[in-house]
Amino acid sequence: MKAIKRVVAVVVVLAVAAGVGFWERPVSYFNGAMYLKQCLAGAKSRSVTVAGHRVHYYAEGPTAGPPVVLVHGLGGRSEDWHNLAPYLVKAGFRVYLPDLPGYGRSEQPADFSYSVPDEAAAVVGFLDALGLKQVDLGGWSMGGGIVQHVAFRHPERVRRLMLFASIGIKQAPTFDVRLFTPSTPAELAQLNALLMPNPPKAPDFVARDLLRISQERAWVIQRALDSMSTGQDATDSLLPQLKMPVLIVWGDKDRIIPLNQGETMHRLVPQSELDVITGCGHLAPVQCSAQIGPKVVEFLKR
C-alpha cells in the first residue's frame, strides 16, 4: 500500500506540475504537440549551417521526389505549412520547409539585417547546403517577396515559382504595422482580425503567453519591417523579367495584403496564373489548404 501511495503521490505531483506549466507557458505545449504531429507524419527535423548560422528545417516525402522548398512569412515558421505540405508529399514531391534566420528554431544572429534580400541570400545558401541545384520554390507573405528575389537573381535555380498572398508590390499598408508586434490583448485581437475572417478569441492565459513571445521576438520583426518600409524590397520592376511559370494564390478576404496586389502581380507576369480562394484571408495556406493543395499539385505536375 505504501508503494501504491508513493506512486499516486508522484502522479499527482507531476499532473499538478504539468497543469501549472501549461497555465504559465501554454504556447510551448502547443508547439510540442505540433512538433510531435510533424514527426508522426514522417517529417524529419534537421539543421544545416548557412553563412555560419544554424538553420532548422523539415524534410519530408520520398527522397528521390522532385524537390519543393516552401518559405514562411514574417513572424512565421516552417510548421506554418503543416496543412499544405501533405498534399505535395502524397503527390510524390520531396518537400523542404526551412525556418528563416531569426524565426522558428533557427538561430537569431544579432548582426543580421533580416531584410528580404538578405533572407533571399540565406535561402540560396540553404539550397547550396543541401545540394539542391533546381527546385520548385514557394513563398507566403514576406516569404513570397523573398522567393521573388531568389527567382530573379538565380532563375536557373527555380523551375516553377509559387506566391501565396505575397508582398512585392510597392504599396503602403492600410493598417498600423506595429500590430505585427502586439503588446496588449487588444492589439493581439486586432492582428488576428487582420489575419483571418471571424477569428476565435484566445483564452486570456494563451493571449498572455503569445504577447510575451511577441515582445521577445519583436526586434527581429522590427528589423524586417524597417527594411520593407524603405521600398527597397519591392519587386514591381523584377516581376516582368521572370521567365519561369508562376502560380499566384490569394484569399479574397485578405486584409494584410489585399487581392488587388495579387492582381497587379498577375498583370506584371504574363505567364502567371492567379487562383483566388473564396472566403479565405491571409492565412489561406493553413485554413484553406483543401482548396489550395490540389491546385498546387496540378501546377507543379504540368
Please state whether beta strands 272-277 and 246-251 pair in parallel, antiparallel, or not at all (unpaired). parallel
Please say if the pLDDT value at position 115 is more than 90.
yes
- Going by the DSSP 8-state scheme, the letter that residue 138 receives in this structure is E
Q: How confident is the model at residue 23 (pLDDT cuts 50, 70, 90)?
A: low
Write out pLDDT tens, residues 5-19. Answer: 565 554 554 455 556
Q: What percent of the chain has pLDDT over 70?
A: 92
User: Residue 257's pLDDT is what?
Assistant: 98
Task: Identify the bridge partners of residue 53 per DSSP, sorted by sequence position.
Answer: 50
Q: What percent of the chain has pLDDT over 90?
A: 88
First to last CA, the chain: 69
Write out pLDDT tens, residues 151-196. Answer: 999 999 999 999 999 999 999 999 999 999 999 999 999 999 999 9
User: Residue 208's pLDDT is what?
Assistant: 96
C-alpha distances out from residue 206 to 30, 103, 217, Å: 10, 20, 17
Q: How confident is the model at residue 279 (pLDDT cuts 50, 70, 90)?
A: very high
At residue 61's C-alpha, the angle toward residues 144 and 142, to 5°, is 10
168: phi > 0 → left, psi -120 to 50 → alpha, else beta; which? left
User: Residue 12's pLDDT is what?
Assistant: 55
The set of cell numbers assigned to 282 is 491571409
C-alpha distances out from residue 58 to 45, 85, 112, 123, 290, Å: 5, 11, 23, 14, 21
Q: How confident is the model at residue 44 (pLDDT cuts 50, 70, 90)?
A: very high
User: Residue 13's pLDDT is what?
Assistant: 46
User: Residue 24's pLDDT is what?
Assistant: 80
Residue type present at position 250: W
User: Residue 15's pLDDT is what?
Assistant: 54
User: Residue 131's pLDDT is what?
Assistant: 98
Measured from the Cβ of residue 67, the count of other Cβ atoms closer than 10 Å reads: 22
For the chain, the average pLDDT equals 93
C-alpha distances out from residue 65 to 42, 88, 218, 240, Å: 15, 10, 37, 30
Please say if the pLDDT value at position 200 is more than 70.
yes
Q: How confident is the model at residue 90 (pLDDT cuts 50, 70, 90)?
A: very high
In this prediction, residues 76-88 reach a mean pLDDT of: 97
User: Residue 30's pLDDT is what?
Assistant: 87
User: Residue 14's pLDDT is what?
Assistant: 47
Model's pTM, two decimal places? 0.94
Please say if the pLDDT value at position 4 is more than 80.
no
Please say if the pLDDT value at position 214 is more than 50.
yes
